[in-house]
Amino acid sequence: MTDASALPGQPRGRVLSGPATERAVNVLAPNASAMTLDGTNTWIVAEPDSDLAVVIDPGPLDDGHLTAVVDMAEKAGKRIALTLLTHGHPDHAEGAVRFAELTGTRVRALDPALRLGDEGLAAGDVITVGGLELRVVPTPGHTADSLCFHLPADRAVLTGDTILGRGTTVVAHPDGRLGDYLDSLRRLRSLTVDDGVHTVLPGHGPVLEDAQGAVEFYLAHRAHRLAQVETAVEDGYRIPAEVVAHVYADVDRSLWPAAELSVRAQLDYLSEHGLIQPM
């Protein structure tokens, strides 16, 4: 068995529902798959002495899960006062409307189509509920509407799909763009260097204890894959599916359709920067 401390980001271990930091509690959704890992992490975030809580990513449209989130908050003596979305993919956001019905909350998101209420989310916003402070960090790349939430009091960042607790995320072409994603990773690295963030609370997979290590791993992984794709094109692999079969040969074939999205994003990036001829 591999020592978790030797893995990128130092994953905490098994993914379980329950407290992760002083202010953040996970409720694991029952939607495990190759793409969602153990399932979606729905986060309840609150000040310990407050009776108000914020929920980040209610998850799939599963009444059992949504009710479990409400029950978890109520057992802690808290009322859910606000719902936030990291992005609009169904495994994070599909249950938001139903969750709003159960809790009477507004839903705030970057994408206006996902909001319930007048307020959205934007870079630099600071959300305060019951003394809790969350700072909105724009992190496009996985999708155009991806956001992270900086939780300064716990020196933590809630990353949605921008950084996962295990493996690496997909740049979901054409909505996701690799240049944006690399900029977002650098923005998160600045949080670890300048703001002391050390814990990643991801949308899937285990909590990571070494945020800076996770970001550095992601940046190195992207640079490595980009070089592999560039070499594959130079060797005559021109169709994205062919590039995937060549570059991702060691990856489970069930993940190749997702890998192809990332390859298309990488090909666009290489073309835009004049490193390959337009495909």
What is the pTM assigned to this prediction?
0.95
Task: Cite the beta strand spans of 78-232 per DSSP E.
Answer: 79-84, 107-108, 126-129, 132-138, 147-151, 156-160, 199-202
pLDDT digits (tens, 9 = 90+) for 17-34: 999 999 999 999 999 999
> Exactly one of 38, 57, 62, 91 is catalytic; which is it?
91
91 is catalytic: yes
> What confidence score (pLDDT) does residue 1 get?
40
In this structure, are strands 79-84 and 52-56 parallel, antiparallel, or unpaired? parallel
Tens digits of per-residue pLDDT, 49-105? 999 999 999 999 999 999 999 999 999 999 999 999 999 999 999 999 999 999 999
- Residue identified by tokens 């799939």 is 60
Rounded Cα–Cα distance for residues 45 and 51 (Å): 11
Mean pLDDT of 263-278: 91
| 263 neighbors 243 (Cβ within 8 angstroms) | yes
Mean pLDDT of the chain: 95
| Dist. CA 183–CA 185, nearest whole Å | 5
- The stretch 186-205 carries a mean pLDDT of 98
Closest CA to 152 of 138, 137, 134: 134
- Please give the structure tokens belonging to residue 277: 């001829």
Q: Print burial letters for 95-109: b (CB count within 10 Å at least 16), e (below 16).
A: bbeebbeebebebbb
Architecture of domain 18-210: 4-Layer Sandwich (3.60)
Token representation of residue 188: 């998160």
Bridge partners, 82 (sequence order):
54
